[in-house]
Amino acid sequence: SQQGEEDPQALSIQEGENATMNCSYKTSINNLQWYRQNSGRGLVHLILIRSNEREKHSGRLRVTLDTSKKSSSLLITASRAADTASYFCAPGSARQLTFGSGTQLTVLP
Amino acid sequence: DGGITQSPKYLFRKEGQNVTLSCEQNLNHDAMYWYRQDPGQGLRLIYYSQIVNDFQKGDIAEGYSVSREKKESFPLTVTSAQKNPTAFYLCASSLGRAARSEAFFGQGTRLTVV
């Protein structure tokens, strides 16, 4: 099954800084989604980027997709303590929605 | 309000018992999924269903069973054959064909074997 691998596994930054997380995958995709999980909670959808798109913005989030390199990045600008969470990418194949181990982001006040 | 509801939030199971985790959605979604999450780990797919009366095994289906008799409901049974069931279980649903649209997650059920 298609599964994204997020990098780094953990990231710690100061409030106000930007945070960048990367995702690599192995096979062709229709889209790629990013999700966020606060500790002990369900996942919340952040953004979906289709395979024919290269960049997408949503508020303080910027996602890029490079299908030739089979990689995506999630940039969170002007981070806040409330952004502390785990972030997962989900490369979209035809039938399944699968996830990697995530990036644990800690934003220090 | 529309959404996806998992119950119970916490569940304790004795060794050798079967337990069933509930997942209900009123979003009119065709696809539903069950995932397992262990501490500090990502999500692993247990089962998924694209449509009523049909479901497919995910990566770690052994020791689990599901049914999809109604569009709104996708219960997961953790059987005694699952040797290490203590984990956080998440249910999700999405509109239409899997992975083509946003998935909505429940708040999870934390299962502990005592």
Residues of A in contact with B106 (CB under 8 A): 42
Instruction: Count the helix, strand and coil residues of chain B and give each as a percent rounded to the nearest 5.
Output: 0, 50, 50
List the structure tokens of A33.
């989604």
> For residue A83, what is the DSSP state?
G
Residue of B nearest to A104 (CA): B40
Nearest by Cα to B23 from B84, B78, B62, B63: B78
Helix and strand totals (H; E) in chain A: 0, 10
Hey, are the CB atoms on A31 and B100 less than 8 Å from each other?
A: yes
Q: Which residue has the higher pLDDT, B112 or B16?
A: B112
SS3 A82: helix
Length in residues, chain A: 109
pLDDT tens digits, one per residue of B79-107: 998 989 999 999 999 886 655 678 899 99
Mean pLDDT, range B69-76, rounded to an integer: 97
> Most A CBs within 10 Å: which of B25, B102, B107, B110, as the mutation test of the A interface?
B102
Mean pLDDT, range A83-94, rounded to an integer: 88
For chain A, give the mean pLDDT: 92
pLDDT tens digits, one per residue of A32-78: 999 999 988 999 999 999 999 999 999 999 999 999 999 999 999 99
Hey, are the CB atoms on B94 and A94 less than 8 Å from each other?
A: no
Helix and strand totals (H; E) in chain B: 0, 11
Nearest by Cα to A12 from A105, A76, A80: A105
Compute the distance between CA of residue A17 and CA of residue A28 in angstroms, rounded to an integer. Answer: 33
The alpha-carbon gap from A2 to the nearest alpha carbon of chain B, in Å, equals 11
The alpha-carbon gap from B98 to the nearest alpha carbon of chain A, in Å, equals 5
Mean pLDDT, range A92-108, rounded to an integer: 84
- pLDDT at residue B102, as a whole number: 84
pLDDT tens digits, one per residue of B1-37: 569 999 999 999 998 899 999 999 999 999 999 999 9
Compute the distance between CA of residue A97 and CA of residue B33 in angstroms, rounded to an integer. Answer: 8
Residues of B in contact with A4 (CB under 8 A): none
